[in-house]
Amino acid sequence: MSDPVDLVREDLRGFAGYKSARSEVLCGDVWLNANESAWANPADRQGLNRRYPDPQPQALCERLARLYGCQPAQLLMGRGSDEAIDLLVRALCVPGRDAVVVTPPVFGMYAVSARLQDARIVEVPLVDGKDGFAADLDAIGRAAREQGAKIVFLCSPSNPAGSTVPLDGIARLAASLAGQALVVVDEAYGEFADEPSAVSLLETQANIAVLRTLSKAHALAAARIGTVIADARLIDVLRRCQAPYPVPAPCAEIALAGLSDAALARTRERVALVRSERTRLHARLQATPGVRRVYPSQGNYLLVRFDDAEAAFHALLTAGVVVRDQRAAPQLGDALRITIGSPDQNDRVLSALRSQEAAA
């Protein structure tokens, strides 16, 4: 297997990064090396927030590694997968020279991070077919080779399209780009999908990175815990490029509690409910007058085309239901994305759309 560190910007391969006081291994019982306060804040009764946190809290790292099926050394935690996306683009793309491939309509942060790094954005649109939107992996491979891309972002399940990318296709694409580009598989919605995680591909393919998050199925969006899982050599470089203290102590604490066996059992029940509500809402929406098409979805949302998306958006808003307007996205001029809520919330969506059609 080729060394994925060869994909990192040459000037960063040996970069030491910032050595925080917390990262030095020293012993003592009077800690005066980080300019922290000697006293706790009055609001912090137990003084748990007085000191800088562990940059990568070990217990959380081990728990996440077990959950995602990788080694702790293959995992880096940060402020949501948003930070992981940004970190990968900054570490791999030379500004003004390198490119990233994205597959619109897709999650916008890949292009935002590329733009901030002055990396070229190469678009290979998803193809809208009878089974929904699909990534054209041959076209993606061709574009990545021709345009000298350093990163290919695959979103699986794709936001907002809802489709997944088959693992064998990801493996073939990564093999064809070995030594040239990193294939990043964003599995922010992986818990809701039938397709297994691409983490299993890391054993045989070193130029793959997988993004996971606690923001969606685990209901901890405010804690901002996302991870990138990749070859341990690449993780080591990314860690040195990351801003110090990316995991605040209160966030690590709630994340660890939210991944206890009991919490995970509850999360699994909720994922099962979302999946069954997804099936119900899909069928009911498809039978709603004014709905043109409901895309199959492996995420916790449905992409829906309307005869009059403006009217549908406003009917929902009038009923107090806020959904994501997708009309500015390529190929989605008549579409809204509706997150699967609780059964009651989903009923509110259906009744708002039905009353609007009845009144029209």
Ligand X SMILES: Cc1ncc(COP(=O)(O)O)c(C=O)c1O
Q: Give the phi and the psi of residue 102 in degrees, each rounded to 5.
A: -130, 160
Return the residue nearest ligand X (CB atom): 80
> Is 231 one of the binding residues for ligand X (CB under 6 A)?
no
The amino acid at residue 263 is A
Q: Measure the CA angle with vertex 59, ends 53 and 65; round to 5°.
A: 120
> Is 107 one of the binding residues for ligand X (CB under 6 A)?
yes
Beta pairing partners, 259: none
Q: Pick between residue 81 and residue 205 the one whose CB is nearest to ligand X.
A: 81
> Is 81 one of the binding residues for ligand X (CB under 6 A)?
yes
The residue whose two tokens read 């880096």 is 76
- Which conformational region is residue 347 in: left (phi greater than 0), alpha (psi within -120 to 50 degrees), or beta? alpha
Q: Which two tokens stand for residue 315?
A: 């009917």
**Total residues contacting ligand X (rule CB under 6 A)?**
12
129 three-state secondary structure:
strand
Query: Shortest approach of ligand X to residue 254 CB, angstroms?
Result: 14
Q: Pick between residue 100 and residue 352 the one whose CB is nearest to ligand X.
A: 100
> Is 82 one of the binding residues for ligand X (CB under 6 A)?
yes
Identify residues 151-190 at the interface with ligand X (CB under 6 A): 155, 159, 186, 188
Q: Pick between residue 186 and residue 231 the one whose CB is nearest to ligand X.
A: 186
> Is 298 one of the binding residues for ligand X (CB under 6 A)?
no
Q: Measure the CA angle with vertex 123, ends 1 and 115; round to 5°.
A: 90
Q: Pick between residue 222 and residue 272 the one whose CB is nearest to ligand X.
A: 222
DSSP state of 299: S
Interface pick for ligand X out of 59, 127, 221, 222 (rule CB under 6 A): 221
Pairing of strands 324-325, 149-155: unpaired
Query: Shortest approach of ligand X to residue 292 CB, angstroms?
Result: 24
Query: Shortest approach of ligand X to residue 84 CB, angstroms?
Result: 8
Separation of alpha carbons 295 and 330, rounded Å: 16
The amino acid at residue 245 is Y
> Is 215 one of the binding residues for ligand X (CB under 6 A)?
yes
Interacting residues with ligand X (CB under 6 A): 80-82, 107, 155, 159, 186, 188, 213, 215, 221, 226
